[in-house]
A and B are shown apart, each in its own frame.
Chain A
């Protein structure tokens, strides 16, 4: 069975602070894919990143960075110098061939960035 855990339900930071969103996953598959999506109040899920299980390189995209560690089954997401526009719910998700590559989402972390 697959499981994604986002232990942080809500996080509140002041603008320009750095913030890390945690994601821990469980899977018996050796090949799998990890994702982060952002859900603003409009409801649409916005794709941020996909990482496969064989690529443990960290990735940076502007103010966003991701730390993938297979040893701890974690795929954490850091926003540097947060902005008010970063306020949203962020979801970590997992997929693999055993799930037909359907996305298995965590419960999400609600991030509030205040001025």
Chain B
């Protein structure tokens, strides 16, 4: 399994500002994923971050609001832009692993974002 770290672990931000979340993996991985977990809810996939190409966004999420960078095979960033209180969530990055590529995901510890 991969070891994944995220920065910051938590932040409190003002409405209208932006926050960039970093995700670092201890090994090279092809795909990294960004999820949002709203209070008391399950996980919703925001986008898939591919190295060397634009991120692939899920329905309901757009690049202007959640720009993603993937400069190499061990690192990715997610920016939450022009924040509103509705963006208050835990943001999680994950990577895929498991034997034979069988779709097992490993998660970072998450970034808890509160927007005032």
Are A and B interaction partners? Answer: no
Taking beta carbons and an 8 Å cutoff, which residues of B are in contact with A?
none
